[in-house]
Structure 1
Amino acid sequence: MLSRKKLLLLSAGILVAATWIGYRAECRVMDSAGNKPLTVQSVVRRVTAPKERRQTLDRINEIRHLVGRLEASPREAAEAWEIIRALGIEDVQACLAEIPQKPQRHVNAMITQMLFQRWGQLDPQAAAEVASKPPYDQDYSVMLAIGISWAERDVEAALRWGKSQPDNTAQNMIGLTAGRLLVRQDPEKALSRALAEFPFATHGVISGLVSETANKEEARRKVVTELAALEEKRYLRSYLSQLGWFVDDKPEVLTALVKDLEQAGLPEAELKEFTQRMEQRVRHGDWERSITNTFGPDSTASAEEKQRLFSNWATNQPDKALAWAKKQGNLETLAESVRRNSNNLLRSNWQPASTPSMNPWEKGIVDQFQAWRERDTSAADQWLQTMPSDIRQHLSQDHATH
């Protein structure tokens, strides 16, 4: 007769073997998104994991295999992030261990980026150390995801990490996000600090300054004067180019801006070129012309291309985009824009607040949701109930200052 110890070992072996066989059978069926090579150790680790972790792994893998070789839909991406944004560090690591690097799949890259973004929220230093080694060290999207999370909690630490990166592309990607947040932290000194300490973040700082100063004449004049005094003129050109999006249909802003440039001593040739370019933009309105052409009867654009263009317009010029959608009666395009930009909000570390933030997806989304709800209350409310509480709270409140 077998001893109790041997019976326990035999039972454990049978359990592992049964799990191994069942799991291998599952993997043969669900291999469109790829699977990590199985080992006895990986199966044992899975079997001994807490029930909640196994359920999380199973659902993430279900999403991966459901998407397969295609790109995830907004709904699938939202579900994946809804799961991942609630994970702890050990669960994040367990999920990463299940995702293969080959074959390359869009869905695997998307979920890997989400997992590192969540890890960056919890422990950015540890996440960065893992991301700096194979197989992730060449994946700039992973570095960007960590950089976004890190900058949200400690912008200077994120900038120091970016400064330590040997790769210019990685530095620039981190700098774009961290630079914008440096402006939020200290708009008066952000530019001088970036130029002196974190040059790779200067373009991010300039992007943040555009949002901060576009509608503030005195602050805008100060930035123009400061940039015009620099020997490197590409920073001034970058500021003016981005500022141009705020000039659309606002001749008074253009007039004030030209005066600022004259006082700052911008060379006459560059001043003339900028003025002509901005006058043309004011006259024509690039976004609306693109939308009209793309949605026109002779357009060959796909439904996805149309939706992407409108959602971008709804982010950059929410009032105009909403007015156009209402006039056209284009309910589904408006509804899909709300769904997409809500997902973008959730993935950007945004939290509801009593006053508007600098988050580009926050502006206008309340009005867009209300317009959708007025025309199809049942569908809008049904969708809203599937969203996390922070989105439900934000879209259900009366935002007098949005």
Structure 2
Amino acid sequence: MKLLIGSLWIVTVLCAYWYGASQVKPHQPAVTVAVNTAMDAAESDGQNIAGSTGGRADEQATGTEPVTNAESADRPITVGDAILQTRALLSEMGWSPTMASIAKAYGIVSQLNAEQTLAALNQLEYSDSPEGLQMTIMFINRLAELSPLQALDYVNLNVTGSMQKDGIMSSVIATWANSDPHAALQWYLSQPEDTRQQAMGRFTLRGLYSSLAKQDLDAAISSIETDLDASDFEAIEHAVSSTARHLQNTAEFEYLLERVQAMDNDSALQAVFSQWLTNDPDEALARLDLISNPEQKQDIEERAFRNWLVRDPEEAAERFMQRAAPEQRQSRAKVVVESMSFNQPEQALSWLNRQTDIDTQPLTAELITRSAYRNPQFADQNLHRITNQDKLTQLTSNIYKSYGRYSQAKAEEFLSRQSPVIREQVLTRLRKVEEMRSRG
């Protein structure tokens, strides 16, 4: 139950992002980072819930007394009541449900049996509105607890939109894996190759191997070695990353590392070190320094630190820069800024302002430019730091377009605050883009 609440929140966060992304043409690198970051943050929250001691998941999350099995036996809930009560809890939340609201709503849904849950889904009908999608996800995951194959069939037949379908499918499989990881994994492996090659098919591996590793570490590692295609580096990376999340000590990390080194997959090695860094930085870095190939070591180190910089920016940035030779400090500072710009631009700017031995001006411009797509407010507030005229025009145009995705009035207000020269240059640039599009 505890992990399921976290899983529900994960898929709601991702579906919210994908729904928004479907309304505009996404910037592909941003999409990739968004999904990875959401998964990392959400999985961390799910683990925190799972690690709580005492009490029930819905009680811990809400602070209110949930309906117990005994109480539900005295007051059996009807399908109609479950729908009405769940809708009342979620209708005001939009795309930002709290863990508490999800836990409380699921306390209602979890009183239904498989037949009632299917009946509720048939009454709901599929909708991609915030409320409709959240409710559908919740009832589907209840069905996944009771009858995983029925839940998978329902998703295949009724959920539209490839990104939403993949996300909900992954949530169903993760729910199944919580109770029977071996069966869920065998089902996944039996699917056609093109199904498993899809983007969310990769993320499905996270839930599968996370649950399997928690139950049986050796089985998880052996499955990676024997069940996955050795040339499918991305799939192995996802599986290894999820397996590493459940390791607790140096001996376990050394054991996994030894097995992964035999796979000849640097992405998988990086996944081990990424998790090891968050668990025990000193041990992880000492082991990283034993890699004899300097280019391989540098590549794995940078990629592992990029992940750590998202999870723990302050400590990761300090450690990363401490390990830099004088001639590396500028390039390493760029890695720090790139990694923090997506979700923590204010923190990145504060960090830059404290640096005394690097050229911060180009990195500040890089930070503001990278933040414009996802955080136009931050870019707007710091636009005055850009001195190059061409970069200023381009960045102003990007901020204008980013504001326009949310509010055209806000975009126009922003543009009206710029100098007449910049305004005209931005409008000219936008007209040229439209002309090129109209020509096909």
| TM-score, length of structure 2 as denominator length | 0.47
Over 3 Å counting, the alpha-carbon distance change for 1:84 and 1:268 in structure 2 is same
Q: Distance in 1 between matches of 2:116 and 2:190?
A: 28
- The reply on whether 1:208 has 2:242 as its aligned counterpart is yes
1:66–1:275 CA distance, 2 compared to 1 (3 A): closer
Task: Determine which of 232, 241, 246 is the counterpart of 2:265.
Answer: 232
Alpha carbons of structure 1 residues 84 and 228: separation in structure 2 relative to 1, 3 Å: same
Deviation per CA, 1:98-136, whole angstroms, max 9, x where unpaired? 32434x302211111111111111111221222222445
Equivalent position SS for 1:195: helix
What is the one-letter code of the residue matched to 1:282?
Answer: R
1:254 aligned onto 2:279? no
Question: Structure 2 CA distance, aligned partners of 1:176 and 1:64?
Answer: 27
Residues 1:282 and 2:282 aligned together: no
Structure of larger gyration radius: 1
Cα deviation for residue 229 of structure 1 reads: 2.1
**Which structure has the highest helix share of the two?**
2
- After superposition, the Cα gap between the structure-2 partners of 1:72 and 1:81, relative to the gap in structure 1 and judged at 3 Å, is farther
> How many Å apart are 1:228 and its aligned residue?
1.9
Match of 1:109 among 112, 118, 133: 133
For residue 66 of structure 1, report the CA deviation from its aligned partner.
4.5
Q: Which runs of 5+ in 1 are unaligned?
A: 1-49, 306-402
1:391 alignment counterpart? none
* C-alpha displacement of 1:230: 1.8
How big is the shift at 1:155?
0.8
Quote the Cα distance in structure 2 between the aligned partners of 1:258 and 1:212: 23
* 1:251 and 1:282 in contact (8 A); partners too: no
1:53 maps to 2:79: yes
Note the C-alpha offset of 1:162: 1.5
CA distance in 2, matches of 1:55, 1:84: 10
Distance 1:135 1:79 in 2: 24
Match of 2:408 in 1: none
1:124 aligns with 2:155: no
Alignment-mate amino acid for residue 129 of structure 2: R
| Partner of residue 297 from structure 2, selected from 267, 271, 282 | 271
Secondary structure of the structure 2 residue equivalent to 1:133? helix
Q: Per the alignment, in what secondary structure is the counterpart of residue 264 of structure 2?
A: coil
1:147 paired residue number: 173
CA distance change for structure 1 residues 196 and 281 in 2, over 3 Å: closer, same or farther? farther
Q: In the alignment, which residue of structure 2 is the partner of 1:183?
A: 213
Helix, strand or coil at the partner of 2:132: helix
Q: Residue 73 of structure 1: SS of its match in structure 2?
A: coil
Q: Who is 2:185 aligned against?
A: 159
Q: 1:171 aligns with which of 201, 208, 212?
A: 201
Question: In the superposition, relative to structure 1, how do residues 293 and 229 fare at CA in structure 2: closer, same or farther (>3 Å)?
Answer: same
| Letter of the 2:136 counterpart | T
> What is the total number of aligned residue pairs between the two structures?
243
Deviation for aligned residue 1:172: 1.9
Matches of 2:206 and 2:224 in 1, distance apart?
11
Q: 2:250 aligns with which of 208, 217, 238?
A: 217
Residues in 1 aligned to 2:88 and 2:224: alpha-carbon distance in whole angstroms: 44
Contact 1:144 1:174 in 2 (8 A): yes
Seen in structure 2, the aligned counterparts of structure 1 residues 119 and 228 have a Cα distance that, compared at 3 Å, is same
Deviation of residue 164 (structure 1)? 3.3
The 5 A counterparts of 1:1-400 are 52-63=78-89, 65-66=91-92, 70-74=94-98, 75-102=100-127, 104-135=128-159, 138=162, 139-166=165-192, 167-168=195-196, 169=198, 170-199=200-229, 202-213=236-247, 216-247=249-280, 250-259=281-290, 261-262=291-292, 267-275=293-301, 280=317, 282=319, 293=346
Give me the CA root mean square deviation. Answer: 3.9
**TM-score scaled by length of structure 1:** 0.50
> Partner of 1:390 in structure 2?
none
Contact kept? 1:131, 1:137, Cα under 8 Å: no
Give the C-alpha shift of residue 275 in structure 1: 4.8
**Identical columns (%):** 17
Alpha-carbon shift at residue 252 of structure 1 (Å): 4.7
Q: Is the 8 A contact 2:141 2:175 kept in 1?
A: yes
Distance change (3 Å), C-alpha of 1:87 and 1:204: farther
Q: Is the 8 A contact 1:60 1:80 kept in 2?
A: yes
**CA distance in 2: counterparts of 1:274 and 1:146, whole angstroms:** 33
CA contact (8 A) 1:180 1:204 kept: no
CA distance 1:84–1:284, shift in 2 (3 Å)? farther
Residue by residue over 1:203-251, the C-alpha shift from the partner in whole angstroms, topping out at 9 and shown as x without a partner, is: 34312332344x522332232222222233332233233433335xx43
CA distance in 1, matches of 2:299, 2:265: 18
